């Protein structure tokens, strides 16, 4: 299993970014996918999650209405469209694939494969 994030960068407050996560090495449309963020000195926290067929979509309260998660099962790719970015959104953003132990869609314990992350800086 391999997850590779891209699309991070430096953006001004109020700007937008689109993150992508390319998955390989497994049958992509069988697992929930999620995005997490981790700022320096803070714990990793869930941002958004999406079920295998996109019937269920979940957001953390702090991104509700600003971020949109989606997936392209034909392209084995998960996306995070980020609008109205704030300085407090600055963090490393990680893509993750759900495993067999479920603690909820935004709980890191529900995910057993992780990408290496892409840095988002809002300044």
Closest among 87, 123, 105, 120 to 17, alpha carbons compared = 120
Mean pLDDT in order along the chain per 10 residues (123 residues)? 98 98 93 97 97 95 94 95 97 97 95 98 98
Residue 61: per-residue pLDDT? 95
Closest among 86, 78, 69 to 113, alpha carbons compared = 78
Residue 64: per-residue pLDDT? 84
Residue 24: per-residue pLDDT? 94
Residue 94: per-residue pLDDT? 98
Residue 31 CB-density burial (10 A; 0-12 exposed, 13-18 middle, 19+ buried)? buried
Question: Count of alpha carbons within 13 Å of 109, Cβ hemisphere only?
Answer: 4
Residue 57: per-residue pLDDT? 97
């Amino acid at each position: 299993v391999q997850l590779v994030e891209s699309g991070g960068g430096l953006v001004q407050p109020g700007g937008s970014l689109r993150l992508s996560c390319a998955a390989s090495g497994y049958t992509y449309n069988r697992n929930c996918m999620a995005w997490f963020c981790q700022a320096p000195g803070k714990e990793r926290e869930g941002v958004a999650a999406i079920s295998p067929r996109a019937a269920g979509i979940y957001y953390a309260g702090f991104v509700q209405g600003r971020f949109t998660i989606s997936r392209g099962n034909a392209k084995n790719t998960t996306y995070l469209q980020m609008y109205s970015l704030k300085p407090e959104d600055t963090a490393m953003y990680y893509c993750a694939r759900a495993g067999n132990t479920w603690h909820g869609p935004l709980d890191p314990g529900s995910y057993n494969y992780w990408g290496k992350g892409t840095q988002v800086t809002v300044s």
